[in-house]
Structure 1
Amino acid sequence: MLAKAYDATAEVLDQVTDWSAPSPCQGWTVHDVATHLVNVMCTFAAAVDGGPDSYSPDSHDVAGGYRKAAARCLAVFEDPAVLAASHPFPLGPTPGSVIAQISVSESLVHGWDVARGAGVPYAPAQEVVAAMLVASEENPPPEGLFGPPVPPSSDDPLTVLLARLGRAA
């Protein structure tokens, strides 16, 4: 699931031509959201590998920075022992499997944010959307991590997931 989520968002980033366009995240441009995503991906990997927890992507190569951060996450989360162990994390000691799940969610949701702001298509894998929809039902994100839920405009799984996370699709 990690690779599929990361690949869909990388495809979006590769299509962006106007990085200064406003995103659905109030006050943030497409570039701001993409840079945030690269940095949180580094935070996820750093929780496991102890490496740098941020990255300052060149304003002309945010997509390249994302690909590097995604490759790093894939490498650290491929070990089943990493997924089972707890790691230091901003929310407190957290199992690697939960950090990986948060990574998928961040990539999926912010991939949509970037696509929506940049006006480019977004086609995440349906199995990734379905898994994150179930995860959002079983373990809602901590309050304040995303916007307050809004009514979904349709029963499409991605629309429902986004609405749970405060986004009107």
Structure 2
Amino acid sequence: MELVKAYDATGTVLAAVTDWDAPSPCAEWTVRDVANHLVGVLKTFAAAVEDGTEVPDGDHLGLDPLGAYRAAADRCLVAFGRPGALTARHPFPFGPTLGSVIAEISLSEALVHGWDIARGASVPYSPAPEVVADVLSRAGSSESPDGAFAPPLPAPPGAPPLTVLLARLGRVA
């Protein structure tokens, strides 16, 4: 998996944000709201693999959104890098889940929410092509069963992989 590349690309986006209150592509969420969600889920992923503790809702960004993001991403890398972490089952919101699956979800969250933040903040986003290909290879082409994403949209013919992925998740690139 390409977690370091995904986390780094999103970190680059966060470092460029100047308007945290700008609307994001996520309905009713600002850029800050999306970044806060992303940091919160990264903390949740790390905690699940570390010891299963719950991460409370709230402000995960504080006064240093980039620092908070980097700390959460680094914590995930350490947690996923522990011997046996990817092959063991860990407590997770939808039941005991393999660490490798939690890491895949983390990769997708970093990639897609990196785009959401970049789009809302009007800053460039250049995810690694292999990260996009990895997430796209596992992204379903049908609506998510829990309603986490908008219904899929058609991608334009010949669209680049990131555009195809975003369309599958109901986002317009």
Shorter-chain TM band: over 0.9
Q: CA RMSD in A?
A: 1.9
Letter in 1 for 2:139: S
Percent of aligned pairs with the same amino acid: 60
1:10 aligns to what SS in structure 2?
helix
Choose the corresponding residue for 1:115, options 103, 118, 134. 118
Q: 1:64 aligned to 64, 67, 75, which one?
A: 67
Shift of the 43–136 alpha-carbon distance from structure 1 to 2, 3 Å rule, reads same
TM-score by length of 1: 0.93
Residues 1:97 and 2:103 are matched in the alignment: no
Letter in 2 for 1:31: R
- Residue 129 of structure 2 is aligned to residue 126 of structure 1: yes
Cα 1:29–1:47 shift into 2, 3 Å: same
Quote the residue 2:13 is aligned against.
12
Over residues 126-163 of structure 1, what are the superposed CA-to-partner deviations in whole Å (9 max), with x where a residue is unaligned?
00000111011499854412221111235210000011
- 1:74 maps to a residue whose letter is L
2-structure distance, mates of 1:138, 1:113 = 19
1:75-112 alpha-carbon deviations (Å, 9 max, x no partner): 00013511001100001110000000000000000000
1:74 paired residue number: 77
Alpha-carbon shift at residue 23 of structure 1 (Å): 0.2
Show structure 2 runs of 5+ residues with no match.
none
Instruction: State the alpha-carbon separation in 2 of the partners of residues 59 and 79 from structure 1.
Output: 28
Equivalences for 1:32-71 in 2 at 5 Å?
32-50=33-51, 53-54=55-56, 56-71=59-74
Aligned residue pair count: 169
Q: Which runs of 4+ in 1 moved over 3 A?
A: 57-60, 137-143
Contact 1:48–1:87, Cα closer than 8 Å, also in 2: yes
Q: Is the 8 A contact 2:89 2:98 kept in 1?
A: yes
- Larger helix proportion of the pair: 1
Residue 142 and residue 86 in structure 1: after superposition, are their counterparts in 2 closer, same or farther (change >3 A)? farther
Unaligned runs of 5+ in 1: none
Separation in 1, partners of 2:163, 2:12: 20
Contact 2:24–2:116 at 8 Å: present in 1 too? yes
Q: Which deviates further from its counterpart, 145-154 or 114-123? A: 145-154
Question: Matched residues in 2 for 1:33 and 1:120: separation?
Answer: 15
TM-score of the superposed pair, with normalisation by structure 2: 0.91
